[in-house]
Amino acid sequence: EATAEAMNAFGDGTLFAERLITRARHIEVQILGDGSGAVSNFGERECSIQRRYQKVMEVAPAPNLPDELRTRIIDSAQRLAAAVNYRSLGTFEFLVDATDLTDGSEYYFIEANARLQVEHTVTEAVTGIDLVEAQLNIAAGYSLSDLGLEQADIPAPRGFAIQARVNMETVTPDGRTLPSVGVLSAFDPPTGPGVRTDTFGYAGYSTSPSFDSLIAKVIGHSKSSDFGDAIRRTYRALSEFRIEGVSTNLTFLQNLLHHPDFAEMKIHTRFVDEQIATLADSSNGSHPKRFAELATAKVVAAPTVVADVEGPEGTVAVASPTQGIIAELNVAEGDSVRVGEQIAVLEAMKFFHTVTAEFSGIVRMAAVEQGGSTLEGQALVFIEEMDEADLGDRAESGEKAIQRQIGWDAELNELALRTNLAHQMGGENNVAFHKGRGKLTVRERIDSLVDPGSFEEIGTLAGSATYDAGGNLTGFTPANTVIGVSKINGRRVMVNGGDFTIRGGASDANVGNKTAFSERMAIEWRLPFIRLLDAAGGSVRTFEQIGHTYLPNGPGHDLSPHLLPVVPSVAAVLGSVAGLPAVQAALAHFSVMVKDTSVLFAGGPPVVKVAFGIDITKEDLGDESVQVRQSGVVNNLAESEEEAFDMIRQFLSYLPDSVYDMPPYVEPDDDRDRRDESLKNAIPHDNKTVFDPRPILESVLDKDSLFEIAPNFGAGRITVLARVNGYPVGVMINDSRVDGGATGMKEAEKAIRFIELCETFHLPIINFADDPGFMIGLEAESAGMLRVGARLHAVMASTETPWLTFVIRQIFGVAGGCHIRLSGMHRRYSWPSGNWGSMHIEGGVDAAYRREIANADDPDAKREEIQDRLKQLASPFRTAQTFLVEEIIDPRDTRPLLCDFVESAQPVIKTQLGPGSAPRWRP
């Protein structure tokens, strides 16, 4: 139930538990830092005396706080401030359990206030340091050393100080506070040694309900180590405080100081609320008044407050619900009112309170004026109660009836209008042209991609609008990016879709802000991020609109890469995509484009024409033959937009919502101990005979669970997401039909990206090794095969995700080493067909035995003799004798062993959640 409520309230059903402390003491530490990492503390304050969690009285230092606990709290505050190079005065606040006060008690940080606190006075009293002056000097650039305020310079607290907040209010026995307004007819604050009063009051001051009711702070300080001395001094000061003309809480404060639990510090943050009936006792007999009270003294109302009046006979008063200023008086004598109609608006403490009629009738008298003040319970107007039907007759006969808007119909109508215009996208003509090219609109795409009815749009009303001279809306064009939270297969995702029907999807209007918001939200909420790209990037038209050019380093440049190490990022290229959107496609963990529809490039044909004088079509620049098959910038090719969305859904089904979550398990419908007989002879006996490796994968992985990534790029290395007994895994296998299965430049780049994908999202890697080595020859060397191969080697060696290798045929040289990891959770199995070495025997004999072969009577026979001799040593069983491979297995046992490994890997993966220490995914 709690999860459901949280989900409905803010879209996240995560349940957080917070420790409940029913008897908490509120301790805060005064800190001063100069921004260099140097921080001094001025001790702590006791702030537990609170009424409804608003502080009433504070003490420094906190009495009865165990010394070691005090030291630990202060040390934590100081370290927190130092860690951020804190600069200024600040208060770091903590809670401790009042029922468990020992040196070793736990304490809990709640907040830090980067400002001067009302209660700073008690710290000033016990330290003798002017904190306001110190704060201003720090702001002026002085250091703690300059001011002589390093920690060694701060004196230990001398005695105790208590601050009592004197408010113009009456505290009722049920805990309510009734503000008091009027004119201060007498105001004599206490003075003397050890007494300080901070106040703005004076005799003749007319109070205002627009401000807080605090009129003074009385601070009593005793240098004695006896807390009772400070209590007595503060109590006497309150007894000397003469305030006449308004009601105050002086008696409440005196009751508090006299309470035995206060003297013994048996208090907590709910102490006042629990003792309110006793503390609110207004009997003055028990508290002396140490001043001469004038016999004529009385409460004098402020000039703007209207005194209570009696209404005409037969009328009922509409009373003010609170003290405040009459911001609006909406009725006059003779007006008819009906139930629910607005009568007045009161302003109190900067908030507006609407007063409505609780019955129908005719206003016979207004007891207040607009702009005046009123007290709680004071009559505003007097109404003669009448039936609705009678009011209607009176109105028809000429009786004045007030007309005013009570609800928000106009605003809701404008909201509906703007929303409707946003859903029209680029307008009827542009939408028709777009769909005439066989493309879905951005909203149709989102509906096709996500679970039905799950899309919750964000920023619907972002865009540009036009208005007439009266400020009325005349037109609205939405931003050409639609963003929102939705669900795919029941899991929440962030969707960002470009709208080509509006300015060709150009990156202007509020596109940047919306995209940055969606990316930031995906990172913070840990939601997979999906881009539906159909945009041409920036437009020079924007310069005329904004009046300047801009540096190309907006939020999109910064945030897009930050998605990669946190959440899955997916891109669908659904039209002509250029500029930053094209780079964002390349930054995705998985990307797909649509055949005969999508093109992708950094700069389009007009830009190429200007730069190089070359006429070229956008298809030649960046269709699927370029970006899917040659460059590999885009992973997969779909026949239609619908198929592209199917691929996105399938890709995400293998990945967790973020790197902080486990990969999603699916209940398997395949036999974990299945032994496929076809595996027995899957590998040709002749190493030079090629074969299709995909049936091997289908024989050992969960049925119908394979999803191949980038099948058209680097085809000599097959990369697949799949499931093993319900657990997601990443799978690699070389294809001997492409260059004998050798690892070329494209294969190495493809493997690097795939390994880092699995590493980032904690998928075990299952590697079926059949690799004769890196591609060799002049073309490969010139292209940098060694550089990319070295990077593959480094990436493989630095991965931490569990790694399982089955050597199914040949692995040689450094490329072969890139199939076997020797650290972390790993296993190595070989099929009997395994064949390995630092290099091929056939190629190595001529290099190692060149002179011996050259000097032989029959060089060819000598070469064959040496090769046969060495091949006898190349048996995988000889390697197993030295335990350089853990086990040689029957190929039919591959699936059961695979299932065992992946199941055993799950506890290890749980310890690796979060961003890894190995290289993060990069394009």
Give the helix/strand (H/E) hosting 456.
strand 456-458
pLDDT at 404: 45
- Angstrom CA distances, 763 to 62, 566, 730, 862, stand at 53, 14, 6, 50
Domain final residue, candidates 258, 279, 300? 279
Cα(290)–Cα(190) distance, integer angstroms: 10
DSSP string for 73-99:
HHHHHHHHHHHTT-EEEEEEEEEEETT
**Lowest-confidence segment of 636-640, 788-792, 836-840 by average pLDDT:** 836-840
The residue range of the domain holding 355 is 316-403
Cα(474)–Cα(486) distance, integer angstroms: 32
Q: Are residues 91 and 40 in the same domain?
A: yes
Q: Are residues 249 and 336 in the same domain?
A: no
Q: 352: which strand partners?
A: 347
Q: How confident is the model at residue 71 (pLDDT cuts 50, 70, 90)?
A: very high
User: Where are the extended beta strands (E) located within 449-507?
Assistant: 456-458, 463-467, 473-478, 481-488, 491-498
In a domain, 711, yes or no: yes
Give the helix/strand (H/E) hosting 243.
strand 242-244
CA angle 742, 743, 749 (to 5 degrees): 160
pLDDT at 611: 86
Cα(400)–Cα(806) distance, integer angstroms: 93
CA angle 13, 15, 19 (to 5 degrees): 160
Q: Are residues 447 and 388 in the same domain?
A: no
pLDDT of 443 over the 90 cut: yes
Cα(449)–Cα(917) distance, integer angstroms: 34
Which residues are CB-contacts of 768 (< 8 A; sequence separation ≥ 6)? 693, 696, 697, 731, 732, 733, 734, 805, 806, 808
Cα(10)–Cα(524) distance, integer angstroms: 14
Q: Are residues 578 and 490 in the same domain?
A: yes
pLDDT at 328: 92
| 708-726 mean pLDDT | 97
| Residue 429 backbone dihedrals phi, psi, to 5 degrees | -70, -45
In a domain, 804, yes or no: yes
Cα(532)–Cα(326) distance, integer angstroms: 54
Amino acid at 663: P
pLDDT at 840: 65
Greater confidence, 536 or 791?
791
pLDDT at 269: 96
Greater confidence, 607 or 895?
895
Q: Are residues 184 and 275 in the same domain?
A: yes
Do 349 and 369 meet the contact criterion of CB atoms below 8 Å apart? no
Do 725 and 899 meet the contact criterion of CB atoms below 8 Å apart? yes
Amino acid at 456: E
| 410-430 mean pLDDT | 89
Do 265 and 64 meet the contact criterion of CB atoms below 8 Å apart? yes
The CATH number of the domain holding residue 485 is: 3.90.226.10
Q: Are residues 99 and 206 in the same domain?
A: no
In a domain, 339, yes or no: yes
Q: Are residues 59 and 93 in the same domain?
A: yes
Cα(180)–Cα(247) distance, integer angstroms: 6
Q: Are residues 797 and 861 in the same domain?
A: yes
Do 434 and 441 meet the contact criterion of CB atoms below 8 Å apart? yes
Cα(855)–Cα(843) distance, integer angstroms: 19
- Angstrom CA distances, 819 to 506, 762, 813, stand at 45, 18, 11
Q: Are residues 701 and 749 in the same domain?
A: yes
In a domain, 119, yes or no: yes
pLDDT at 910: 94
Total domains present in the chain: 5
Q: Are residues 633 and 692 in the same domain?
A: no
Q: Taking the mean position of all CA atoms in its chain, how far away is CA 281? A: 48
Angle between helices 250-258 and 227-240 in degrees, nearest 10: 160
Q: Are residues 177 and 145 in the same domain?
A: no
Q: How confident is the model at residue 400 (pLDDT cuts 50, 70, 90)?
A: very low
Query: Tokens 């995400």 label which residue?
Result: 652
Q: How confident is the model at residue 380 (pLDDT cuts 50, 70, 90)?
A: very high
In a domain, 311, yes or no: no
Greater confidence, 881 or 631?
631
- What secondary structure letter does DSSP report for 105? -
Q: Are residues 260 and 122 in the same domain?
A: no
Tokens of 890: 């029957």
pLDDT of 453 over the 60 cut: yes
pLDDT of 127 over the 60 cut: yes
In terms of DSSP bridges, do strands 590-594 and 636-638 run parallel, antiparallel, or are they unpaired? parallel
pLDDT at 627: 95
Cα(56)–Cα(469) distance, integer angstroms: 53
pLDDT at 264: 94
Amino acid at 269: T
pLDDT at 908: 95
Top-confidence range, 302-311, 513-522, 537-546: 513-522
Cα(321)–Cα(353) distance, integer angstroms: 8
Q: How confident is the model at residue 658 (pLDDT cuts 50, 70, 90)?
A: very high
Do 322 and 347 meet the contact criterion of CB atoms below 8 Å apart? no
